[in-house]
Structure 1
Amino acid sequence: MTSEIQSYNFNGASLRTLTDGAGEPWFVAKDACDILGMSNPSMAVTALDKDEVAQIDPKDYLGSENRSNQAVNIVSEPGLYKLIMRSRKPEAKEFQRWVTHEVLPQIRKTGGYIPTSESDSDEDIMARAVL
């Protein structure tokens, strides 16, 4: 895992990610569960396959963002998709739609995802793409 955390914003909620040695993203389970309206992230990840969930030491990766010494659950990309599709709560529907209608299609078409807003100019989007 890299110690650099990327954070994506979904309707004001943060979804923190880390990248493993193979370049694959891992998502902080608590962030995903908060967005999905799942109140118990530890219980939610028990339904995932063993290769879809891991634990990290918060001191090594999350710094001051986590005040606990307890291991933090992270989920792989397939694990995140399973959590999204399992949730039947109303809070999850918009997140499901964002992932399946915006994020995944853009990744498939362009090879990556660059969050944009209506106020972004083409130059702003290109500058983020270059970074």
Structure 2
Amino acid sequence: MNAVTHFDFKSSSVRIVLDDNGEPLFCLADVCKILNISRSSDLLQIQRGYVKNETPKRHGALDPIGVQKISVSTNGGKQELIFINEPNLYRVIFRSNKPEALNFQNWVFSEVLPSLRKTGTYSARQTAFDELNRLCMQEKVSKEKGTFHSHGMHRRKHEKRLNALRINTCKANIQMTFEGVHHE
């Protein structure tokens, strides 16, 4: 097992570890907190009387094969927390009909999982740096075009304003991600 990594979704933290096969495991309590599911224990009830290789019958119930107790250091000392695999994460997300579930789902599917698969870590900061580099290069090319073609000066002024706005937005996003992702 790798170290616990914290990912911030809005104002809540989600603890994620990679299992021995490099697959992400998500802290069930954190996921339930974000999705406003008050009784995460209800999701585990299907484990009693579970028949191997049988699909869980209750809507949103978890498959025990993808549930692991992992000892994690917390402010209160070592605690055993329940972590779930990706298919169980989908079950929990799809169980929630709260508006926040769609935002969380989009964040997990479009940012966290692709990053974990590609690099083994999630780095919103790297995505922002890549975008900043692209914008700076675009600004440099636009500047060269504007000085080479005098008739392009009007267009250059417009592009310069747009690029400055995009670059400042990107820099602000990078500053936010310095506070957003940290390792234990």
TM-score between the two structures when normalised by the length of structure 1: 0.70
Q: Indicate the structure with greater helix content.
A: 2
Aligned to 1:88, the other structure's residue is in SS state coil
The answer for unaligned runs of 5 or more in structure 2 is 46-60, 129-169, 178-184
CA drift at 1:64: 3.0
Query: Aligned ranges for residues 21-100 of structure 1 at < 5 Å?
Result: 21-46=20-45, 47-56=61-70, 61-67=71-77, 71-100=80-109
Amino acid at match of 2:99: P
Aligned to 1:48, the other structure's residue is in SS state coil
| Alignment of 1:6 onto 2:11 | no
Larger CA Rg, structure 1 vs 2: 2
Amino acid at match of 1:72: L
- Structure 1 pair 25/66, CA: closer, same or farther in 2 (3 Å)? farther
Tell me, in whole angstroms, the C-alpha distance in 2 between the residues paired with 1:65 and 1:77.
26
The equivalent residue for 1:127 is none
CA drift at 1:65: 3.4
The equivalent residue for 1:18 is 17
CA drift at 1:66: 4.6
Tell me, in whole angstroms, the C-alpha distance in 2 between the residues paired with 1:65 and 1:48.
28
Tell me, in whole angstroms, the C-alpha distance in 2 between the residues paired with 1:81 and 1:5.
20
CA drift at 1:76: 0.7
The answer for unaligned runs of 5 or more in structure 1 is 125-131
Over aligned residues, Cα RMSD in angstroms?
3.1
Question: CA contact under 8 A between 1:42 and 1:73: conserved in structure 2?
Answer: no
Q: Deviations over 1:46-83 (max 9, x none)?
A: 41112121112xxxx421335575x3211012211221
Tell me, in whole angstroms, the C-alpha distance in 1 between the residues paired with 2:26 and 2:76.
15
Tell me, in whole angstroms, the C-alpha distance in 2 between the residues paired with 1:66 and 1:79.
27
Question: CA contact under 8 A between 1:29 and 1:45: conserved in structure 2?
Answer: no
- Structure 1 pair 10/90, CA: closer, same or farther in 2 (3 Å)? same
Question: CA contact under 8 A between 2:8 and 2:14: conserved in structure 1?
Answer: yes
Amino acid at match of 2:68: A
Aligned to 1:111, the other structure's residue is in SS state helix
- Structure 1 pair 103/62, CA: closer, same or farther in 2 (3 Å)? closer
Question: CA contact under 8 A between 1:17 and 1:27: conserved in structure 2?
Answer: yes
Amino acid at match of 2:118: G
> Matched residues, percent identical?
34
Q: How many residues align?
A: 116
